[in-house]
Amino acid sequence: MTAPLSAHDHLNITAVTSGKGGVGKTFVSANLAAGLARIGKKVLVLDADLGLANLDVVLNLYPKVTLHDVFTGKCSLREAILSAPGGFSVLLAGSGMVEYSRMTPEVRDQLQRVIAEVAPQFDHVLLDTGAGISDVVLYTVSLAGRVLVVATPEPTSLTDAYATIKVLATTQGRRRIALLVNQTRKRGEGRTVRLQLQQVVDRFVNPPLDSPVQLDLLGEIPADPAVRDAVQQRQLLVESMPGAPAAIAIMAAAARLDA
Amino acid sequence: MNTPTPPPALTALQLERALQLLGHSGQPLPPGTPGSPGWLQGVIDALVELSSRDALTGLANRRAFDLALAREIDRVARSGEPALLLTLDIDHFKRVNDSWGHLAGDEVIKAVATALIDSVRPMDLVARVGGEEFAIILPNCASAFGETVAERIRRRVERTPVAVAPGQQVSVSVSIGGAFAPQWVRSTPAIWVGRADLQLYRAKGQGRNLVQLEPTAVSVVSSEEKRLLFESFQFQDTE
């Protein structure tokens, strides 16, 4: 019998997730990592969506060696860890992983092994997980000590973020969940979104729990045309346009994540 | 001296109390030559068996349950097979004790234990985890069958009258809560039991003699939740 994985030992591992796709989860993962690197931290981003994340696209990296090759024993873990443009390291899954639409015991064990091995080597490990609440997402999130939910201030994104928070609280016993509100259109909208979510959590999720779920606002990133430009030019915003409002907001969130 | 003296190491073990305990609890004493390794293994096995059973009902006790639950979590996370945990509580058990005495209470607990064993598969683990509290681990139980099996258990108990005094029978019922282990995801015994207990609490609150299983799709957001979520929140017009 293996000892239960104590996710809380891995406080330097943060799972970046979202209820809904298309809220900028991968953009946030990559730029948070670059932001952390800029304040001198050693960071690794892992494509925990097993090839479905567009991390390779965002970073403009098409490696020959991927996590898939580590799993199949074709290369060592060290060989698969690449340097990304933003001064951080990245472990890409590669399209070969897409076939693992379900978490098989082998993938599960391999992923756990890889994460346990890399965690002590970095100040921060960010797991860019898939969207939604599949068993794969839940499993990868369960490997992280901290979880960051990315949401935008739209009804569908809020609903899905709330559903994710609910599932994480009930099935994984999460009591602190960080929230990052992307594409805000007015100052303070992130606080409003956090408050709104917290209010529903207090009313519908918290009552039967032994201790209440607390949502922490990691930051709000304003809607910023510079983001689209950076994404289209396949550059990291905090690198290419560090003065843009969204880049400044990401740097602040990175500092808070590191605090 | 007509009995051979056991080796000094075994004398130091002072097995008298262990053997007394086994004899008293009706455990067959191990065969073989007293003091031989095989016999000693038999004593240990019998003690292990004894320490994992509830004295009144013969069901798995709390200790054995905790161990089995931890194993099941490990197995589910590895295999992805669904597993159901039920927690059960005899309704208004105090009334039985107060009206008919503690011996009658014991009879009720024993009868419920038998009803539980009779309504599940041999592979399922039925445990007495508290005074009138029971728990059942059902490995490889598909979510579609959870309600059926829990309902079968509830009805079985309801239909089993218990003789508490000569010519006197009482009927008891159980409230049942249940939760499936999250597949592929590592949980902890405390979280799993907590989820099942929460449902048990709901079954009690809704009038007892009821089954309440955690909805498998906990990700569903009700319209009430949505209303509160969007209440007084001004969404910006998106371009």
pLDDT of residue A230: 93
Q: DSSP assignment, residue A201?
A: I
Query: Domain for residue B231, yes or no?
Result: no
pLDDT of residue A41: 97
pLDDT of residue A8: 45
pLDDT of residue A134: 73
pLDDT of residue B177: 97
Q: Which residue of A has its CA nearest to B220?
A: A163
SS (H, E, C) A146-161: EEEEEECCCHHHHHHH
Q: Tell me how many domains chain B contains.
A: 2
Domain that holds residue B30: 17-51
User: What backbone phi and psi angles, to 5 degrees, belong to A168?
Assistant: -65, -35
pLDDT of residue B185: 65
Do residues B118 and B90 both lie within one domain?
A: yes
Q: Tell me how many domains chain A contains.
A: 1
Residue for token pair 């054995």: B64
Query: Domain for residue B6, yes or no?
Result: no
Query: Domain for residue B225, yes or no?
Result: no
Contact present, B156 and B118 (Cβ < 8 Å) = yes
**Which among B144, B159, B150 is positioned nearest to B111, based on CA atoms?**
B159
Query: Domain for residue B39, yes or no?
Result: yes
Residues of chain A with pLDDT below 70 are 1-9, 51-53, 95-105
Do residues B83 and B133 both lie within one domain?
A: yes
What letter represents residue A204's amino acid?
A: F
**Which among B205, B212, B221, B220 is positioned nearest to B84, based on CA atoms?**
B212
Residues of A in contact with B70 (CB under 8 A): 1, 4
Do residues B173 and B203 both lie within one domain?
A: yes
CA of A2 vs chain B CAs: smallest distance (Å): 7
Contact present, A61 and A219 (Cβ < 8 Å) = no
**ipTM of the predicted assembly exceeds 0.95:** no
Domain that holds residue A220: 8-258
Token pair belonging to B31: 């065969």
Do residues B41 and B91 both lie within one domain?
A: no
Contact present, A194 and A146 (Cβ < 8 Å) = no
pLDDT of residue A95: 64
Do residues B83 and B180 both lie within one domain?
A: yes
B217 touches chain A (CB under 8 A): no
Tell me if residue B151 is catalytic. no
pLDDT of residue B36: 86
pLDDT of residue A1: 26
CATH number at residue A64: 3.40.50.300
R_g of chain B computed on alpha carbons: 24
Do residues B145 and B73 both lie within one domain?
A: yes
Do residues B183 and B101 both lie within one domain?
A: yes
**Which among B127, B143, B207 is positioned nearest to B175, based on CA atoms?**
B207
Which stretches of chain B are assigned E, i.e. beta strand? Answer: 84-90, 125-128, 133-138, 162-165, 168-170, 174-180, 211-213
What is the number of other CB atoms lying within 10 angstroms of the CB of residue A101? 11
- Interface with A, mutate which of B233, B234, B237, B238 (most A CBs under 10 A): B233
Query: Domain for residue B12, yes or no?
Result: no
pLDDT of residue A6: 44
Query: Domain for residue B2, yes or no?
Result: no
**Which among A129, A176, A180 is positioned nearest to A150, based on CA atoms?**
A180
Do residues B83 and B197 both lie within one domain?
A: yes
Query: Domain for residue A83, yes or no?
Result: yes
Do residues B81 and B110 both lie within one domain?
A: yes
Do residues B45 and B138 both lie within one domain?
A: no
CATH number at residue B103: 3.30.70.270
Residues whose CB falls within 8 Å of the CB of residue B22, separated by 6 or more in sequence, listed in order: B29, B43, B46, B47, B50
Do residues B36 and B149 both lie within one domain?
A: no
- In order along its 239 residues, chain B shows pLDDT tens digits of 455 565 656 666 778 888 888 988 888 888 888 888 888 899 999 999 999 999 999 999 999 999 999 999 888 877 778 899 999 999 999 999 999 999 999 999 999 999 999 999 999 999 999 999 999 999 999 888 999 999 999 999 999 999 988 889 999 999 999 999 876 666 778 778 988 998 999 999 999 999 999 876 566 788 899 999 888 666 655 44
Residues whose CB falls within 8 Å of the CB of residue B27, separated by 6 or more in sequence, listed in order: B46, B49, B50
**Which among B86, B81, B71, B89 is positioned nearest to B137, based on CA atoms?**
B86
**Which among A41, A154, A132 is positioned nearest to A87, based on CA atoms?**
A41
Do residues B87 and B132 both lie within one domain?
A: yes
Contact present, B137 and B108 (Cβ < 8 Å) = no
The answer to whether the predicted template modeling score (pTM) of the entire model surpasses 0.80 is no
Query: Domain for residue B93, yes or no?
Result: yes
CA of A257 vs chain B CAs: smallest distance (Å): 25
User: What backbone phi and psi angles, to 5 degrees, belong to A227?
Assistant: -65, -45
Query: Domain for residue A109, yes or no?
Result: yes
